[in-house]
Amino acid sequence: MSMDDLQTLQEELEQLKKQCEQAAKQKTFKKIEKQKANEKCDELEKELDEVEATRKKLQDALKEQQARFKVNSQLPAKNINFKETLTTAENRSDDEPMDITYTCYLTSGRPFILGAGQALLTFEEERVARSVIAKKRHSLEGIDGGRNVEALQPQLDKSVKFEVRMDISRKKLKISNLPEDIPEETLKDKVELTFYKSSIGGAEIEEVEYDRNDNTAYVTYLQNGVAQRVLKSPWHQFMAGEVTCEVEVMPCVKIELNKLQMFFAASPRSVLLTGIKNVDEDGDDVQDLIQIHFQKESNGGGEVESTEFCQDKGKTLIFEEDLK
């Protein structure tokens, strides 16, 4: 073997050594990168677990708040007088809309949370509430030998007020509980024959519509007021071939929500009392003592309409009226 061959072999050996060293470095680098990736993956899994735990806590808190704010409250009873403008046959037009219209305004607010050691007084007169709040500090005799409390204006959350308009048609009826599996045109003809009869208060019919999805028919009369005569009986006998059944008749009512307004409400006859925590007396006794104190004119009070006291846990209150 010549010297040139030895020289060549030596160069190839050096090159292979360099390649091996480079491969070893790359392998070490990949191991480090893999270790970093595993550590990053562990960190992400840990963060994911923390996020999931936080989400569960928030979900539990949301359920608790939903249960806390859930209020079953009925609307107060109202006496409503419906009035109709009488018209003579000469000046009444058959095309004149004669729906019965009822419009009312509804106000909805979030519940007021009475905190522990707080009381809410509602006076019969606004001036008494203003006077009590203006004085601000009061000493309640009979509670721990004399408890100093502070009178504040209760801060209510945002409320919503909107108009509800209901138009009850005097010409159109909704008929449900109809027999199924009858051709649409046949069913419409039977509906017209049934509700045309004068024996049930019917009259000439302008149109019969049928909704197959709801199995409901709509009858429109030519004259106003016919629908109210038929509605005197909510159930009518219906015959279609060999099928006989009772169908239900209901008025056609159109409901619209208008004039939505959002505002921060206030109860001008109410006063919030704070600083009644850790009292020795029973909660009902404290409530009575508060009402007795603020009914006296000598203490700047007046006639009290209602009193609520919260001794330890929060209490949810609803302002159904008196919102401004």
28, 46, 289, 294, 323 from 303: Cα distances, Å: 87, 62, 14, 8, 19
Fold of 170-251: Alpha-Beta Plaits (3.30.70)
Q: What is the largest CA-CA distance in the chain?
A: 136
pTM, entire model: 0.44
As a whole number of angstroms, the distance between CA 227 and CA 225 comes to 5
Count the neighbouring beta carbons within 10 Å of the beta carbon of residue 169. Answer: 21
The amino acid at residue 60 is D
- Helix/strand/coil (H, E, C) string of 7-24? HHHHHHHHHHHHHHHHHH
pLDDT tens by residue, the chain, 324 residues: 667 777 777 777 888 888 888 888 888 888 888 888 888 888 888 888 888 888 887 777 666 655 554 544 444 454 544 444 444 334 444 455 568 888 887 776 667 778 888 888 889 999 999 999 998 888 887 777 778 889 898 877 777 777 888 889 999 999 999 998 889 999 999 999 999 999 999 999 999 999 988 899 999 999 988 999 999 999 999 998 888 899 999 999 888 888 777 766 678 888 998 888 877 778 888 888 888 888 888 888 899 888 888 877 777 776 655 555
39 DSSP β-pair partners? none
Of 210, 169, 168, residue with least CA distance to 192 = 210
Domain range summary for the chain, segments of one domain joined by +: 114-156+266-316, 170-251
Percentage helix, strand, coil for the chain under 3-state DSSP, each rounded to 5: 35, 30, 35
- CA–CA–CA angle 52, 58, 61 (5° rounding): 145
Rounded Cα gap, residues 9 and 136, in angstroms: 103
What integer pLDDT is reported at residue 65 of this predicted model? Answer: 56
What are 260-311's pLDDT values in tens digits? Answer: 777 666 788 889 988 888 777 788 888 888 888 888 888 888 998 888 888 7
Q: Give the model's pLDDT for residue 86.
A: 42
Strand 243-264 with 158-176, pairing: antiparallel
Question: Is 39 exposed, middle or buried (CB count within 10 Å of its CB: 0-12, 13-18, 19+)?
Answer: exposed
